[in-house]
Amino acid sequence: MSDSDDDVPQLSTEALAALQEFYIEQQQKEDVKTGGKYFGSIEENWQLSQFWYDTETALRLANEAVRAAGRNGKIACVSAPSIYQKLKELNYKDFSACVLEYDQRFSVHGTDYVFYDYKNPLNLPANLAAHSFDIVLADPPYLSEECLRKTAETIKYLTKGKILLCTGSVMEEYAAKFLGVKMCKFIPKHTRNLANEFRCYTNYDSGLDFDCVS
């Protein structure tokens, strides 16, 4: 035995950094499993009205979008990045998806990411042609008439017909007025308890009216 620190095995700075990164990743995975504030590696930013779905809800909505889009379908996720991320995780081969988002951290998704500000609802890149998506799924950032009306312009421009909207139950009348959608039985849940009740709305017969389809 020696009293000298020299005999104690030391990790290099690189190894320590790698270990720290590993622990952070594990913690984030644990947060996702237990309903924490991360989705993937992206933390909620409340300034942007970000409230992520819990994993069960994200899975249910992603599966509904795939089912509704059909074989080789195209899915647009408008202000709903955790659904896009869940679609990617599912790793099915026969659909494509893109994410329209104000938060540029989601540009990690490369060409699937489209910068989007609901205040300029039709300011979209040329490669997003009118009526080119089999389903558009949207979760606007604010529970206001203006925000839903403008987001609805984007949704109607992009969709071939099907719409899946998630927003507060207080928006039911505006949702019907702007998009012709009806409230579904399924109740979406978030990683945190929100003060406002949230609901899903569709303009087609969806699996969200049945109890345990996912």
Ligand X SMILES: C[S@@+](CC[C@H](N)C(=O)[O-])C[C@H]1O[C@@H](n2cnc3c(N)ncnc32)[C@H](O)[C@@H]1O
By CB under 6 A, name the binding residues for ligand X: 48-53, 79-83, 101-103, 116-119, 139, 141
Q: How far is the CB of 177 from ligand X (least distance, A)?
A: 20
Closer residue to ligand X, CB minimum distance, 17 or 172: 172
CA atoms within 13 A on the CB side of 34: 7
Closer residue to ligand X, CB minimum distance, 51 or 178: 51
Q: How far is the CB of 20 from ligand X (least distance, A)?
A: 28
Q: How far is the CB of 191 from ligand X (least distance, A)?
A: 8
Closer residue to ligand X, CB minimum distance, 56 or 205: 56
Q: How far is the CB of 77 from ligand X (least distance, A)?
A: 7
Closer residue to ligand X, CB minimum distance, 73 or 168: 168
Owner of token pair 């709903």: 80
